[in-house]
Structure 1
Amino acid sequence: MNSHTKKFLSYYKPYLGLFLTVTACAVIGAALALLLPLCVRYITKNVLENNLPNALEQIYRVGALMLVIVGIQTALNYFVDYRGHAMGAMMERDMRAELFEHFQKLPFRFYDEQRTGQLMSRITNDLFSLAELYHHGPEDYLIYSVRFAGAFLILFQINASLTFAILLFLPILAVFSFYCNKRLNAAMKKNKERIGDINAQVEDTLAGIRVVKSFANEGTETGKFTRENNRFLDSRESTYKNEAVLYQGVSLITQLITITVVVVGGTRILNTTLDLADLITFLLYTGYLIEPIQKLTHMTEQFQDGITGFERLMEMLAVKPESQDAVGAVEIEHAQGNIEFRNVGFRYQEDHIDVLKNITLAVKAGEYIALVGSSGVGKTTLCSLIPRFYEVSAGEIYLDGVNIR
């Protein structure tokens, strides 16, 4: 298990009891749903075909049993829907708190290279999509797995050859879905980047609205926003195209499955190897086989959207705080204020030119020093090195004779 997988699963740990309870309720509810077609089969095959003398009483009893099953299933689904979403929201809160705390530890250098709107998108939209995956992902896959496996076993008991005829479509579906999912994942990742660009553009414009209006730059800013808005539209169109291909392809396969059941089942009735009651039951259970396939588009979109959000979360958490104290660093409790620069050099990136180079300077406590120079020569940068907003690229800075690191 790699580190990303461990990190993904770690968010379940504080809510493991609730998660297991929700999962158990989801599985029980899915299993109960499998009993309803069996009740229909009992009425049509055992009661009606055999002309039982107490047929009406039997129908009422089975109907009452079906009502009980539906009542229990509804209660379980209510708990899963309510508490499951609450669990997802609590996990979203935990992730957002962790990311926000991490943001506060990152240096100025990081924020020099990032746009505020992009960071806001990562802490809002991405985490919402991820929370939906945390709740619905295991739940949906378990529910549809139970229904699919249960329906397959029951159908196999009714008519094995007709069941295998349905299963022949599954490899085609698997290959088609894998191909479309890969394209859909790339499109959704691009969507998140584009909406982040829109947020960043809006934040930049509104933060400097006074400057924009002072220089009558409304047209320029509108042009910038329109460009980002159109780029987002292009990415959405790409996503919708891939979704349409996936959805319509899956829909076509499900329709072919239904046609296969009707045609093959009809021939089996003519050959007296299958009766009408079993065909009705087969059609009802075929819905349980087809439903996971029909939901595949939504589940795939949810999975890809959530995983993309998790990847973007991990990208941010992987950024390490730049300010690291040296081994054996001491804490200065009462600073006098004597500052000394010894051959200090600084560059914003390793491949950038030096902003400061071989700066040696001593300032005693209480002294006033004026830094004079044109805009961009490094006056603010020099001051920012003292509180370690940036780390020096070369040399050392001392406070009261102690290296600030």
Structure 2
Amino acid sequence: MDINRYSQINPPQRLLMGPGPINADPRVLRAMSTQLIGQYDPVMTHYMNEVMELYRKIFCTDNYWTMLINGTSRAGIEAILLSAICPGDKVLVPVFGRFGYLLCEIAHRCRAKVNLLETQWGTVFTPDQIEDEIKKIKPKFLLIVHGDTSTTMIQPLKDIGEICKKYHVIFYTDATASIGGNELETDLWGLDAVSAGMQKCLGGPSGTAPITISHQMKEIIRHRKCVEKGIRTVEHKDGDGEIIYSNYFDISMIMDYWGPERLNHHTEATTALFGARECARVILKDGLKKNIARHKLHGDAMLKGIQGMGLKLFGNIEHKMHNILGVIIPKGVNGEQVRKFMLEDFGIEIGTSFGPLHGKIWRIGTMGYNARKDCVLQTLACLEQVLNLVGFPMIPGAAVESALEHYSLENIHV
């Protein structure tokens, strides 16, 4: 082995304007470069308590059990579902994009009886549609994505909590793509459990999943029993039909670690915790409402610029997330070629999509640290140049002019 073949990591400079991850806030990166301390050092446990306090504000909740799962956003999803769902539980999953199918898959692994409710990609559900399905199926759990980046749509949740309460249904949402950049009211909307991720509107790197669970959900998790030897654990079924037990994603054990008992479960990812703490601190220092307004401002500016370029938008724009936009790839334009030029010539990454939308739309994000005027204008100017290069007709400068007009109307000059 020639160790000289392996140079120090030095990735190229990229402006990440896709559906996530995004460029992490430099303040978060600085926090993550801090030296490690022991997991039971009083300073460390104090930081863990601060993280719980900070994320209660991010989730808009009084839930005591608001903490971090060490792993990407999917780890947060799995921890909640694997810890709460028992084999045979009825689950309803309204799906309006790719990540709804992910909830279905995980619920199937929990051996739940999964009921799927689908709508056309680019649309969302009305409360009446969900209530009708709840009345028909009588599920124990409702699992729904808040903002699905595959379609760029956000599902209104405000009225669904009351429906779940009315029919005694436990209400979970995946807020990975929405939290911090869109309104999310855990307590006010009656959410029993929410999971999130760091790499989008929160402005950090992937690898940590903040979660919050209500008292009712906590009781379900605490009293979940394995059929073997009365041991509380998490279980799912593998391809051979055997029951597999998860220790790592057992939230009841994780609560014992984060709670006052400080019972050993795993070694907390110190660097990731420092980063997650800084993400929340930065947002709350400016104000959560202000952070959401910032995402809307720059998301709307990107939308105006794309429209000024003569491009069409995907889906029902009334239900678009603040932080991401679906752009229909024009006929005759090679979408992957455009993405390649953007990345290699301008150092800007924009996304494609999944399933039926793969190769049909670009997904352009304005989130986290990249929800800024300069990022929006730079992306629009470069996209315009690339589209001119591949022969798409447009008025030169129209995109940036439309965005600047939006900023001018909003009295934004920085």
TM-score higher than 0.5: no
Q: Which one has a larger percent strand, Structure 1 or Structure 2?
A: 2
TM-score category, normalised to shorter length: under 0.3
Q: Which one has a larger percent helix, Structure 1 or Structure 2?
A: 1
Q: Could you say which structure has the larger radius of gyration?
A: 1
